[in-house]
Amino acid sequence: MSTDTIEILRRTEAPIHPAPESFVRKYIFSIDHKVIGVQYFIVSGLMILLSGLFAEAIRVQLTAPHNTFLTPQQFDEAFTFHGTLMVWFGAIPMVTGAFGNFVMPLQIGARDVAFPWLNMFSFWTFPPAVLILLSSLAFGAPNSGWTEYPPVSLQAGVGIVFWTTAVFTVGIGATLTALNFLTTVIKMRAPGMTFTRMPLFVWASAVTAVLSLVATTALASALGSLFLSHVFNVPFYDPSRGGTVVLFQHMFWFYSHPAVYILIIPVFGIVSEIIPTFARKPIFGYKLIAFSTVSIALLSFMVWAHHMFTSGLGPWVTLPFMILSMLIAVPTGIKIFSWTATLFGSNLRLTTAMLFVLGFLSTFTIGGITGIMLASVPVDWHEHATYFLVAHIHYVLFGGTLMGVIGGVYYWWPKVTGRLMSESLGKWHFWLTFIFFNATFLPMHFVGLLGMPRRVAYYDPAFQGLNLFISISAFLLAGSFLLLFVNAFWSLKKGAAAGPNPWGARTLEWMIPSPPPYYNFKETPEVYATPYGYGEPLPYSAPYNSVSTTPTY
């Protein structure tokens, strides 16, 4: 689509494309960013559930030191599927494909993303990738963890071919989505929406898109080299034929460290939207939050070797990576402090969405601190590849990403479905999840420091007590999610009509009906100021300035 077309789309009232009539064009091969967002939400949600089942299988096995529930082979497959599904098939498509697609174009006053057909194509790389990955269960599954370090991953047989192909395929979709989002944010913002007037979720989506675009190429190299090693016996990772084992780790982490920020930066955006809405005041330090997002993204390309402190890089190579990793804590701290400060002098509405965000603040802070501990090489020599590391990643990915995502679900659900969820059920869900989350993952720090490695099907009987406690908490944690499903189904059947703006928010998506009409905005809105000016008139052109900003939930 040329720049001209984009200009026309933005300025005229002409429909982008006629509303589809048939079921297939409306719900299956849709080019509407909102439908695609929901499609991503459903598939990635299912993947998170499936991944959760694998996690529960892991926890059943670990209730006893020499349990026979799973064979070591099955156990290895379980943690490989858990990690792979969670990262590439659950969380990344959830925060970019689902939230990015649904929310970002609405927040910039656009009628769709820049390339709607490409968007449809991106989504349709996803279900085939899922099928490829799952079909490996019938042929010999991959079993060396989501990191698939060679040479051990190359011993697994044909599983690695399925794994690389599946991840490569979702990677294509993710890259194209990134391209699409970046173009959309650059070219399709409503007139008057300067960079400093963009909602923070839009900032987050744009920065994430840059990360995906740059980093995923390194993942492609890592995957390609494994594929070639297995299929054509190319000796990249065979030292007896001149190969170098750590090469893979460099390529993998050059992607996967930025990838952990692909997982969290959109959530920073979600949190930065929910907090001002329910604090009912402007976000504290907008510019510093946006700036810290950008600096985290830049730094995230310069710290990958902190995953390889024990791999033999020597002191002079590890040193800069250690210092730069510690520096990331500074912008991360800025965010946490700014969010907390926003609560000062607020008129706080403790909705379920807000509770999840407050929970996020608490747990993500712990994850950030353990990150600093792992960044200090001497301490990492003790903690690396133990349950302490497992605790760190779950405090940032469950306590961070997933808590934020659930907050986002409670927040935008009325916009997507037009109906409210039950707040009292939601609050129960929050407290149970928050408590059992900490009960599950906090003890993992200790068991790791005391000497339990990660990815073990059997362990030293000395750790049985703690492991049993962790497993029981993990079952209850999984159980707490039933409340979310009950709530969602109840809301779809019986939930009260939400109206355009139940929370009294001020970003553009709340200025139009819920669910939004096919074209989102009949006329392109004009933007006059930051969206977060609580207490001031809405900074949009008519008719988008007439929605009530009094909470009605």
Partner 1 sequence: MAAISAILIVLIAIWPINNTLAVAATSDYGIDALFKFMLYFAAPIFVFVNGYVLYFARRYKHRRDEPADAVGIPLYGVVPLEIWWTVLPALLMVVLGIWSAVTLFGLYKPQAGALNVEAIGHQWKFELRYPGLKSSFYGDFYLPIDRPVTMNITSADVVHSFWVPQFRVKLDMVPGMVQQLHFTPTQIGNYPLVCTEFCGIGHGDMRTTVHVVSQADYDKWFSGEQQQVAAASASAGALNLAAGVVSKGQAIFEQKCAVCHNMAGFAQKKVGPGLQNIFSDPAHPKLVDGSAPTPEDVAGIIEKGYSGDIGVMPNAQANGLSSSDVANLVAYLKSQSK
Closest residue by Cα to residue 531 from 109, 91, 2: 109
375 binds ligand HEM (CB under 6 A): yes
Choices 170-178, 390-398, 485-493, 508-516 (CB under 6 A): range interacting with ligand HEM: 390-398
Rounded to whole angstroms, the Cα distance separating 162 from 131 reads 10
48 binds ligand HEM (CB under 6 A): no
77 binds ligand HEM (CB under 6 A): no
Q: Which of 16, 305, 393, 478 binds ligand HEM (CB under 6 A)?
A: 393
Residue 508 gets which letter from DSSP?
G
- Please identify, using beta-carbon distances, which residue of 5 and 347 lies nearer to partner 1: 347
Long-range contacts of 284-289 (CB under 8 A, 24+ apart): 284/338, 284/339, 284/341, 284/342, 284/344, 285/334, 285/338, 285/341, 286/196, 286/200, 286/530, 286/532, 287/196, 288/334, 288/338, 289/200, 289/334, 289/335, 289/338
457 binds partner 1 (CB under 8 A): yes
Rounded to whole angstroms, the Cα distance separating 457 from 330 reads 37
* CB neighbours of residue 136 within 10 Å: 24
264 touches, from ligand HEM, Cu ion, partner 1, none (C-beta below 5 to 8 Å by class): ligand HEM
Q: Report in angstroms how near the CB of residue 95 gets to partner 1 at its nearest.
A: 23
- Please identify, using beta-carbon distances, which residue of 24 and 298 lies nearer to partner 1: 298
- Please identify, using beta-carbon distances, which residue of 306 and 415 lies nearer to Cu ion: 306
Q: Report in angstroms how near the CB of residue 202 gets to ligand HEM at its nearest.
A: 20
Choices 20-28, 55-63, 102-110, 323-331 (CB under 6 A): range interacting with ligand HEM: 323-331
* CB neighbours of residue 139 within 10 Å: 11
348 binds partner 1 (CB under 8 A): yes
- Please identify, using beta-carbon distances, which residue of 133 and 263 lies nearer to ligand HEM: 263
Query: Token pair for residue 268?
Result: 């920073």
Rounded to whole angstroms, the Cα distance separating 17 from 488 reads 31
| Neighbouring-strand partners of residue 527 | 540
Per-residue binder mask for partner 1 (CB under 8 A), 67-86, x = binder: ----xxx-xx----------
Q: Which of 230, 250, 384, 415 binds ligand HEM (CB under 6 A)?
A: 384
319 binds partner 1 (CB under 8 A): yes
Q: Report in angstroms how near the CB of residue 294 gets to ligand HEM at its nearest.
A: 15
Residues in the chain: 553
* CB neighbours of residue 22 within 10 Å: 9
Rounded to whole angstroms, the Cα distance separating 136 from 350 reads 45
322 binds partner 1 (CB under 8 A): yes
336 binds ligand HEM (CB under 6 A): no
Closest residue by Cα to residue 418 from 486, 487, 510: 510
Q: Report in angstroms how near the CB of residue 463 gets to partner 1 at its nearest.
A: 11
Choices 243-251, 382-390, 455-463, 483-491 (CB under 6 A): range interacting with ligand HEM: 382-390
Pick out residues in 143-162 that bind partner 1 (CB under 8 A).
Answer: 144-145, 149-152, 155
Pick out residues in 237-276 that bind partner 1 (CB under 8 A).
Answer: 239-246
Pick out residues in 376-395 that bind partner 1 (CB under 8 A).
Answer: 376-379, 381-382, 384-386
Rounded to whole angstroms, the Cα distance separating 503 from 501 reads 6
Closest residue by Cα to residue 413 from 349, 488, 356, 350: 488
- Please identify, using beta-carbon distances, which residue of 392 and 445 lies nearer to ligand HEM: 392
Per-residue binder mask for partner 1 (CB under 8 A), 100-129, x = binder: ------------------------------
By beta carbon distance, the residue nearest ligand HEM is 371
Rounded to whole angstroms, the Cα distance separating 395 from 382 reads 19
Pick out residues in 241-280 that bind Cu ion (CB under 5 A).
Answer: 257
| Neighbouring-strand partners of residue 540 | 527
- Please identify, using beta-carbon distances, which residue of 110 and 264 lies nearer to ligand HEM: 264
Residue partners of 74: CB distance under 8 A and separation at least 6: none
Q: Which of 269, 400, 426, 525 binds ligand HEM (CB under 6 A)?
A: 400
Rounded to whole angstroms, the Cα distance separating 58 from 48 reads 15
Closest residue by Cα to residue 484 from 413, 389, 397, 381: 413
- In 3-state terms, what secondary structure has residue 242? coil
CB 144 within 8 A of CB 76: yes
User: Residue 142 region, left (φ>0) first, then alpha (ψ -120 to 50), else beta?
Assistant: beta
431 binds partner 1 (CB under 8 A): no
264 binds ligand HEM (CB under 6 A): yes
5 touches, from ligand HEM, Cu ion, partner 1, none (C-beta below 5 to 8 Å by class): none
* CB neighbours of residue 319 within 10 Å: 12
- Please identify, using beta-carbon distances, which residue of 109 and 407 lies nearer to ligand HEM: 407
